[in-house]
Structure 1
Amino acid sequence: MASCCHRTTTPGGTNHEETRIPLRLPGDLHAWLTTQAKANRRSLNAETVHRIKGEHHAAVADAEAP
């Protein structure tokens, strides 16, 4: 299955591109993420993106540290 890109505009008017990807997760990780998403009142997608962005920001900060 090929990924596809979509241009979207956020409520604040910011344009960004989204890419859909098929993602396979172990069952226990999927269950945990689903539980976390419900606890945080997010969709599974929003929870996954939130956690990946957090890791990305931490990695960027580590790379920029002296």
Structure 2
Amino acid sequence: MKKKLVALSALAGSLLSVGSAHAAVDVTAVTTEISGAAAPIAAIGGAVLVILVTAAVYKWVRRAL
């Protein structure tokens, strides 16, 4: 009896998951947000790079004096 109940519940679970397995997911909003965030990320990365280069140049100039 218990084996039949387990088999029946497994069958019911698999039938419920079949419908959503091939559902199309709309990802346009996510890709739009990612592409929109590219400019601020590039600006922050550029600022960090400028700070690192400035610190390195400062060390080199200070060592030369």
Same fold (TM over 0.5): no
More strand by share: 1
Question: Which one has the largest radius of gyration?
Answer: 2
Structure 1-normalised TM-score? 0.34
Which of 1 and 2 has higher RCO (CA within 8 Å, sep 6+)? Answer: 1
Structure 2-normalised TM-score? 0.34
